[in-house]
Amino acid sequence: MNKLLMEENERLQKQVSQLVHENAHMRQQLQNTSLANDTSCESNVTAPPNAIRDASNPSGLLAIAEETFTEFLSKATGTAIDWVQMPGMKPGPDSVGIVAISHGCRGVAARACGLVNLEPTKVIEILKDRPSWFRDCRSLEVFTMFPAGNGGTIELIYMQMYAPTTLVPARDFWTLRYTTTMEDGSLVVCERSLTGSGGGPNAASAQQFVRAEMLPSGYLVRPCEGGGSIVHIVDHLDLEAWSVPEVLRPLYESSRVVAQKMTTVALRHLRQIAQETSGEVVYALGRQPAVLRTFSQRLSRGFNDAISGFNDDGWSVMGGDGIEDVVVACNSTKKIRNNSNAGITFGAPGGIICAKASMLLQSVPPAVLVRFLREHRSEWADYNIDAYLASSLKTSACSLPGLRPMRFSGGQMIMPLAHTVENEEILEVVRLEGQPLTHDEALLSRDIHLLQLCTGIDEKSVGSSFQLVFAPIDEHFPDDAPLISSGFRVIPLDMKTDGVSSGRTLDLASSLDVGSAAPQASGDAPPDDCNLRSVLTIAFQFPYEMHLQDSVATMARQYVRSVVSAVQRVSMAISPSQSGLNAGQRMLSGFPEAATLARWVCQSYHYHLGVELLNQSDEAGEALLKMLWHHPDAVLCCSFKEKPMFTFANKAGLDMLETSLIALQDLTLDKIFDESGRKAIFSDISKLMEQGYAYLPSGVCMSGMGRHVSFDQAVAWKVLGEDSSVHCLAFCFVNWSFV
**Is 284 contained in some domain?**
no
Pure H helices in 496-536? 508-512
Buried b (16+ CB within 10 A) or exposed e, 339-355: bbeeebebebbbbbbbb
CATH of the domain at 721: 3.30.450.20
Pure H helices in 451-610? 508-512, 549-574, 581-587, 594-609
pLDDT at position 339 over 50: no
- Helix, strand, coil percent values for the chain (each to nearest 5): 40, 30, 35
How far, in Å, CA of 438 to CA of 728, rounded?
37
Q: Could you tell me if 547 and 596 lie in one domain?
A: no
**Is 92 contained in some domain?**
yes
Whole-prediction pTM = 0.70
Tens-place pLDDT, residues 165-211: 999 999 999 999 999 999 999 999 999 999 755 566 656 667 789 99
**Is 283 contained in some domain?**
no
pLDDT at position 139 over 80: yes
Tens-place pLDDT, residues 85-111: 887 766 555 567 889 999 888 999 999
> Looking at residue 49, what is its pLDDT?
38
In the three-class reduction of DSSP (H, G, I as helix; E, B as strand; rest coil), residue 22 is classed as: helix
**Is 557 contained in some domain?**
yes
**Contact residues for 312 (Cβ-Cβ < 8 A; gap 6+):** 205
In the three-class reduction of DSSP (H, G, I as helix; E, B as strand; rest coil), residue 373 is classed as: helix
Q: Could you tell me if 271 and 305 lie in one domain?
A: no
Question: Which domain-ending residue is among 524, 555, 582?
Answer: 582
Strand partners, 451: 429, 471
Q: Could you tell me if 484 and 385 lie in one domain?
A: yes
> Looking at residue 44, what is its pLDDT?
35
Q: Which of 4-13, 81-90, 427-436 has the lowest mean pLDDT?
A: 4-13
Domain residues for the domain of 602 are 588-738
Tens-place pLDDT, residues 532-573: 789 999 999 999 888 888 999 999 999 999 999 889 888 887
Q: Could you tell me if 111 and 184 lie in one domain?
A: yes
Q: Could you tell me if 596 and 733 lie in one domain?
A: yes
> Looking at residue 349, what is its pLDDT?
65
CATH of the domain at 245: 3.30.530.20
Q: Could you tell me if 214 and 295 lie in one domain?
A: no
Residue 688 contacts residue 716 (beta carbons within 8 Å):
yes
How far, in Å, CA of 272 to CA of 322, rounded?
48
How far, in Å, CA of 415 to CA of 419, rounded?
12
Q: Could you tell me if 566 and 599 lie in one domain?
A: no
**Is 689 contained in some domain?**
yes
**Is 90 contained in some domain?**
yes
Pure H helices in 194-286? 250-253, 255-258, 264-278
Residue 700 contacts residue 673 (beta carbons within 8 Å):
no
Q: Could you tell me if 601 and 563 lie in one domain?
A: no
Strand partners, 235: 110
In the three-class reduction of DSSP (H, G, I as helix; E, B as strand; rest coil), residue 674 is classed as: coil
Question: Which domain-ending residue is among 254, 278, 302?
Answer: 278
Q: Could you tell me if 231 and 347 lie in one domain?
A: no
Q: Could you tell me if 416 and 270 lie in one domain?
A: no
Q: Which of 112-121, 450-459, 507-516, 647-656 has the lowest mean pLDDT?
A: 507-516
Structural domain total, the chain? 3
Q: Which of 374-378, 490-494, 503-507, 699-703 has the lowest mean pLDDT?
A: 503-507
**Is 370 contained in some domain?**
yes
Q: Could you tell me if 612 and 716 lie in one domain?
A: yes
Over 600-617, what HEC string results?
HHHHHHHHHHCCCCCCCC
**Is 104 contained in some domain?**
yes
CATH of the domain at 541: 3.30.530
Q: Could you tell me if 572 and 603 lie in one domain?
A: no
Question: Which domain-ending residue is among 278, 312, 346?
Answer: 278
